[in-house]
């Protein structure tokens, strides 16, 4: 019976890693659509988000079933409850990648990236790619040295996010109101993607150490 239980826990773990991999792919493809005004690719990203949603629901149902039937305690209980919360964060990251693709689709055939902010958004995309890559690695190997890279990337991204708002609020801004809205929304999506990555890293850290450092991330 214990062997079956451990196999079920392992399956939950593998599903988390799979979702993280799909989120990484969604981010990469949504950024490409966003920067190149590729409406077909944007549509593919939007449609593919259903797979992430499905896997998250299936994982949550499996975790709840294990909780109900196996009555886990101590560390196993932390793993299951943590998995439920991490799957929610990963699903939200997938949603945010989808939102970026939706911006690309909305502005097609024009690019959604305002002139003058291309480098800023390129860097934000790089930082988010680093974060989801490290999150996936962290879920796989529980190497907590990855958390410092995630936190550093998030801190830089917060600064860039603030810079975008300063740019569109500056009197020298010459873009249209629509472009200002696009810039604000895109920046927010990139910033929140990072926040949820930090949230996942904190939960993994808790599972490994048993110590909680706080997490104020909301949807």
Average pLDDT over residues 77-82: 87
Question: Mind listing the pLDDT tens digit for each residue in 40-54?
Answer: 999 999 999 999 999
**Closest to 175 (Cα-Cα) out of 104, 125, 110, 123:** 110
User: Does residue 72 register a pLDDT over 90?
Assistant: no
**21, two tokens:** 């991999």
- Give whole-number Cα distances, 166 to 16, 21, 117, 120, 173, in Å: 37, 33, 12, 12, 10
Query: 207: pLDDT confidence band, cut at 50, 70 and 90?
Result: confident
Residue 73 has pLDDT above 80, yes or no: no
Q: What is the pLDDT of residues 123-155, one digit of tens each?
A: 999 999 999 999 999 999 999 999 999 999 999
Residue of 45, 50, 137, 139 whose CA lies nearest to 98? 45
Report the pLDDT value the prediction gives residue 219, as an integer from 0 to 100: 47
Residue 81: other Cβ atoms inside 10 A: 15
DSSP-based three-state secondary structure for 207 = helix
Q: What is the pLDDT of residues 148-191, one digit of tens each?
A: 999 999 999 999 999 999 999 999 988 888 889 999 999 999 99
Within 13 Å of residue 184, how many CA atoms lie on the same side as its CB? Answer: 11
pTM for this structure?
0.93
Both structure tokens of 70: 């196996």
Domains, the chain, ordered by start: 2-209 (1.20.58.220)
**121 vs 88: CA distance, rounded Å:** 25
The per-residue pLDDT for range 91-104, each reduced to its tens digit, is 999 999 999 999 99
User: Is the Cβ–Cβ distance between 100 and 34 less than 8 Å?
Assistant: yes
């Amino acid at each position: 019976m214990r062997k079956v239980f451990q196999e079920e826990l392992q399956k939950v773990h593998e599903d988390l890693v799979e979702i993280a991999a799909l989120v990484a792919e969604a981010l990469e493809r949504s950024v490409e659509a966003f920067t190149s005004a590729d409406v077909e690719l944007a549509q593919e990203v939007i449609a593919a988000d259903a797979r992430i949603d499905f896997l998250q629901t299936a994982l949550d149902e499996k975790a709840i079933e294990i909780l109900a039937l196996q009555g886990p305690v101590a560390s196993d209980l932390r793993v299951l409850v943590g998995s439920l919360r991490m799957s929610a964060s990963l699903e939200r990251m997938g949603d945010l990648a989808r939102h970026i693709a939706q911006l690309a689709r909305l502005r097609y055939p024009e690019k959604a990236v305002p002139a003058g902010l291309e480098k800023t958004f390129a860097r934000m995309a790089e930082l988010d790619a680093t974060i989801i890559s490290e999150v996936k690695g962290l879920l796989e190997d529980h190497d907590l040295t990855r958390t410092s890279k995630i936190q550093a990337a998030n801190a830089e991204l917060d600064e860039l996010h603030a810079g975008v708002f300063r740019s569109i609020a500056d009197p020298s801004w010459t873009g249209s109101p629509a472009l200002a809205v696009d810039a604000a929304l895109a920046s927010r999506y990139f910033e929140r993607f990072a926040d949820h990555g930090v949230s996942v890293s904190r939960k993994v850290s808790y599972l490994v150490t048993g110590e909680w450092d706080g997490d104020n991330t909301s949807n």
